[in-house]
Amino acid sequence: MQIGFIGLGNMGAPMAANLAKAGHQVTGFDTAGVSVDGVTQAQSATEAVSGADAVITMLPNGDILRAVANQIIPTMQQGAVLIDCSTVDVDSARAVAEQAIAAHLLSVDAPVSGGIGGASAGTLTFMAGGTSDAFAKAAPLFDIMGQKAVHCGEAGAGQAAKICNNMILGVTMIATCEAFALADKLGLDRQKMFDVVSTSSGYSWTMNAYCPAPGVGPTSPADNGYQPGFAAELMLKDLRLSQQAAKSADADTPMGQAATALYQQFVETEGGLGQDFSAMLPRFEKRSRE
């Protein structure tokens, strides 16, 4: 395929590189002027998508996605597929899909899970929303960039799946960190706690696969000074999206709301910016009950 790729940041660059390595003709554009091995560098977004069979976007937020869509959709060839891999609000995803369909394009919202490591290794998981035809055209590209793609439903369903998943992740990480901090103050050895909880009803991904306690469980960012695998500010972004969606859908999400407030406090006033989202543990270690 001839592929246009808009947004060559920490995630987009390795994704585009993997598509080029697989033999596709990839033309990329980023406002920062990033160059990627095997990817032809365009001077504008419209140049990158000219004649493309598929266009992939990986952008910071819904406002930027809408602005880019306004630029590129009128210049894309009919029948091409627009695959947005950004994590944005559901309303923006659906608006861009409607705009693409009106221009006789296929459209898929397909946010990802797996982080920078997954983007580099080609092991991302894609959560896709759109028609069956659109998903079928995008699927071979998902196979190159990732290890799994789930068709979640119509337009916006991919974003819905991503923010629901990450709301669970944020809430669960806070609970895991709280429990370790409580165990410390009760005199319970962290390794003993892990040995019990990781094989009991407290089992969770944040405990078993991404333990926030250094030296306990598999290697995680906690063992590297909390250098981010998934930055706290990105978790805050996703939690805010979850609450925006909850408000729009009139859904009661008190735990998601509380997690959003805690991560906002951590990132904006407690030095959490630039740390992994599991650095909530040293944050709780320092605090007493108020």
Q: Find, among 179, 212, 215, the residue nearest to 279 by Cα.
A: 212
Q: Please identify which residue in the block is written with the tokens 């974003």.
A: 159
Please give the average per-residue pLDDT across 239-244, as a whole number: 96
Q: Find, among 139, 161, 166, the residue nearest to 90 by Cα.
A: 161
Give the per-residue pLDDT at 141. Answer: 98
pLDDT at residue 290 is higher than 80: no
The set of catalytic residues is: 162
In angstroms, the CA 206 to CA 260 distance is: 17
CB 39 within 8 A of CB 28: yes
Tell me the residue type at 248. Answer: S
Q: Please identify which residue in the block is written with the tokens 């944005």.
A: 88
**Contact residues for 29 (Cβ-Cβ < 8 A; gap 6+):** 4, 5, 6, 8, 41, 42, 43, 44, 45, 47, 48
146: left (phi over 0), alpha (psi -120 to 50) or beta: beta
In angstroms, the CA 30 to CA 22 distance is: 21
Q: pTM of this prediction? A: 0.90
Q: Please identify which residue in the block is written with the tokens 């979640």.
A: 152
Triad 65, 165, 107: Cα angle to 5°:
35
Please give the average per-residue pLDDT across 54-60, as a whole number: 97
The pLDDT tens digits of the residues spanning 169-191 come to 999 999 999 999 999 999 999 99
Triad 190, 195, 197: Cα angle to 5°:
90
High-pLDDT (> 90) share of the chain, %: 97
In angstroms, the CA 119 to CA 33 distance is: 20
Triad 54, 57, 59: Cα angle to 5°:
180
pLDDT at residue 115 is higher than 90: no
Question: Can you read off the two tokens belonging to residue 62?
Answer: 């819904």
In angstroms, the CA 41 to CA 43 distance is: 7
pLDDT at residue 117 is higher than 90: no
The pLDDT tens digits of the residues spanning 202-226 come to 999 999 999 999 999 999 999 999 9
The pLDDT tens digits of the residues spanning 98-107 come to 999 999 999 9
In angstroms, the CA 200 to CA 163 distance is: 27
In angstroms, the CA 195 to CA 60 distance is: 39
